[in-house]
Amino acid sequence: MLARFIRQRRDEQQAVPMAVAAVASRGSTAALSSLVLLVLVLVLVLASSALPASLAVTSPYVRPPARATLPLLLQDDDDADGQTPQQVHISMVGPDKVRVSWITDDDAPATVDYGTSSGEYPFSATGNTTTYSYVLYHSGNIHDAVVGPLQPSTTYYYRCSGAATTTPSSSRELSFRTPPSTLPFRFVVVGDLGQTGWTASTLKHVAAADYDMLLLPGDLSYADLVQSRWDSFGRLVAPLASARPWMVTQGNHEVEKLPLLEPKPFKAYNARWRMPYDVSVSPGAGAGAVPSGDNLYYSFDVAGGAVHVVMLGSYTDYGAGSAQLRWLRADLAALDRRRGGRRPAFVLALVHAPWYNSNEAHQGEGDAMRDAMEVLLYGARVDAVFAGHVHAYERFKRVYAGKEDPCAPVYVTIGDGGNREGLADKYIDPQPAISVFREASFGHGRLEVVNATHALWTWHRNDDDEPVVADQVWINSLAANPACNRSKKKM
Ligand SMILES: *[C@@H]1O[C@H](CO)[C@@H](O)[C@H](O)[C@H]1NC(C)=O
Ligand SMILES: *[C@@H]1O[C@H](CO)[C@@H](O)[C@H](O)[C@H]1NC(C)=O
Ligand SMILES: *[C@@H]1O[C@H](CO)[C@@H](O)[C@H](O)[C@H]1NC(C)=O
Ligand SMILES: [Fe+2]
């Protein structure tokens, strides 16, 4: 109990000094009182930061040291003005629409002009603009607009806030490629990204992959209360996130609750990373997600309904009677009611704190969520569960209730995107029988759903600056396994 408390505090540890520095530099009386508060928190945190003893690691790979946080990325555009779109990222909305999200410093219209030829924008969509404040920080104008219907596997050229442009920089053209509407479908999976030199290395490797969509199981910016770091993270990932849909769920670093000052959790995350939680598309139309009504958990289909992805929220209520649990039950039950009995070939789930974990870091933190939800995922024959949080890679066998089970999900921890807290390299010894492969290195994963029965999972370690395939396994669809779908548990 105490050990768990210590580990949780340790995760917050680096956030607090940074917040103190940021607030102190503002120098107002409000800042002074929050400074006093933060110093108190800091003292508490340091008092509880005893580290557990170290054990041997499994992999023989000798890791280079952690890399520093990148200096705050400034606007790279010489003639940028207040209406220059920045931090552009996109996400899927149903089977054939895309939400474009971006920020401008000054007022600018929430319009996206787009088309399939460079420089020609026959279509236009207008969305909404929001802002938020956090202690003394005021965000820029956060815009989003949904474009479509779009053709699958097609490159679209677009510009944001284009109608108000007067300078060439703000009419800058971007492009994205829509995902295919059939298999094969290629995901990249990367967790706990942050914004360090290792993040840059991981992103370079991801950019070199030919993929359709990126999935992120939580811990995006490691802004850790310093809101301008959400902006620098947005600029760091924009070259990739404006070109392919990035579907994300929250980690503990997204919560950003501050006692008394910022009681509302997920303020920045919800404002900046809006996901399709409210999309209602009829099952069978190729996107049978049940709307969740909450940005902190949602689901969606890709590849014309061949793959269903469930994004769960590890840091919002998931227990008995919670809205998330009710929604999850409804969402999974709907899989069997697809028109023509066309159940998705693959069902994937993402969480932040892993439900299975043989690393010493964050032991037990996913247990309560697992107790609440594992039986539902098992009953729905979820094929794989990806988690972050532990800054290392680990792949388990198919596991249910702690034991190997041929009809249960494969569990993967992929919290090794490149964050500033470094790697979690202390493992429980001996390696449990259900753990197949574990290594504390930075890297990213790729899941290629080849056809209705086969998906190939590959983990690419950042071997210094080269991506090296370090683990690979075929995952066979449980829906296509008669031994599993006949014995389906009642939910
Ligand atoms: C803008 O936001 C309002 C309120 O949330 C919503 O009802 C409306 O549909 C949004 N408009 C667009 C174009 O997204
Ligand atoms: C699906 O892909 C796997 C792996 O490439 C292959 O062995 C199998 O024959 C494919 N199934 C079909 C029906 O094409
Ligand atoms: C169960 O597996 C069989 C054999 O692959 C398949 O034909 C059937 O559609 C599956 N049923 C469900 C509900 O997935
Ligand atoms: Fe985390």
The model's pLDDT over 347-392, given as tens digits with 9 standing for 90+, comes to 999 999 999 999 999 999 999 999 999 999 999 999 999 999 999 9
Q: What is the pLDDT of residues 265-312, one digit of tens each?
A: 999 999 999 999 998 765 445 456 899 999 999 999 999 999 999 999
Q: What percent of the chain has pLDDT over 70?
A: 80
pLDDT above 80: residue 51: no
Q: Identify which of 59-73, 91-105, 159-173 has the greatest average pLDDT.
A: 91-105
Residue 101 lies in a domain: no
Question: Which of 57-71, 203-217, 264-278, 426-440 is least confident?
Answer: 57-71
**Vertex 27: Cα angle to 26 and 30 (nearest 5):** 95
- Compute the mean pLDDT over every residue in the chain, rounded to the nearest whole number: 85
Residue 65 vs residue 250, higher pLDDT: 250
Residue 217: the pLDDT is: 98
Asked if the structure places residue 107 within a domain, the reply is: no
Helix ranges, 219-356 (H): 228-241, 267-272, 323-333
Q: Catalytic annotation on 362? A: yes
The pLDDT confidence band at residue 82, using thresholds 50, 70 and 90, is: confident
Residue 243 has pLDDT above 80, yes or no: yes
User: Cα(2) to centroid of ligand 1, in Å?
Assistant: 46
CATH number for the domain spanning 257: value is: 3.60.21.10
Residue 244: inside a domain:
yes
Distance CA 250, CA 193 (A): 12
In a domain? residue 173: no
Give per-residue pLDDT as tens, 118-130: 999 999 999 999 9
CB atoms within 10 A of CB 17: 15
The one-letter code for the residue type at 54 is S
Which of 85-99, 160-174, 429-443 is the least confident region?
160-174
Question: What's the confidence (pLDDT) of residue 169?
Answer: 52
Around ion ligand 4, which residues have CB less than 5 A away?
219, 251-252, 389
| Ligand 1 atom with minimal separation from the 110 CA | 13
Does residue 450 have its Cβ closer than 6 Å to ligand 2?
yes
**Contact residues for 458 (Cβ-Cβ < 8 A; gap 6+):** 445, 446, 447, 448, 469, 471, 472
Evaluate: CB of 480 within 6 angstroms of ligand 3: yes
* Measured distance CA(145)–CA(163) in Å, rounded: 14
Residue 208 sits in which domain range? 181-484
At how many degrees (to 10) do helices 197-207 and 228-241 cross?
Answer: 20
Q: 476: Cβ below 6 Å to ligand 2?
A: no
**DSSP conformation letters of 431-476:** PPTTEEEEE---EEEEEEE-SSSEEEEEEEEEETTEEEEEEEEEEE
What is the predicted pLDDT for the residue at 282?
Answer: 54
Distance in angstroms (rounded) separating the CA atoms of residues 208 and 198: 16
Mean per-residue pLDDT, 153-173: 77
What phi and psi values does residue 145 have, to the nearest 5 degrees?
-145, 140
**Within the chain, what is the greatest distance between any pair of CA atoms?**
67
Give the position, in ligand 2's atom list, of the atom nearest the Cα of 450.
Answer: 2
Neighbours of 475 (CB within 10 A): 20
pLDDT in tens, 409-468: 999 999 999 988 889 999 999 999 999 999 999 999 999 999 999 999 999 998 878 889
Residue 491 lies in a domain: no
Q: Look at the chain and report how many structural domains it folds into.
A: 1
The answer to the question of residue 327 being in a domain is yes
Question: What separation in Å is there between the alpha carbon of 182 and the centre of ligand 3?
Answer: 19
* pLDDT higher than 70, residue 74: no
Q: Is residue 362 part of a domain?
A: yes
In a domain, 174, yes or no: no
Strand order in the sheet with 174-177: 123-126, 111-115, 155-160, 174-177
Ligand 3 atom with least separation from CA of 479 = 14
How much is the pLDDT for 464?
74
Indicate whether 487 pLDDT > 50: no
Average of pLDDT values for 322-326? 98
User: What is the model's pLDDT at position 241?
Assistant: 98
Output the residue whose Cα is nearest ligand 1's atom 2: 128
Q: Which of 18-27, 49-58, 359-368 has the highest mean pLDDT?
A: 359-368
Atom 13, ligand 1: residue with shortest CA distance: 127
pLDDT at 167 over 80: no
**How much is the average pLDDT of 222-229?**
96
Q: What is the mean pLDDT of residues 128-140?
A: 97
> pLDDT grade, residue 53 (50/70/90)?
very low
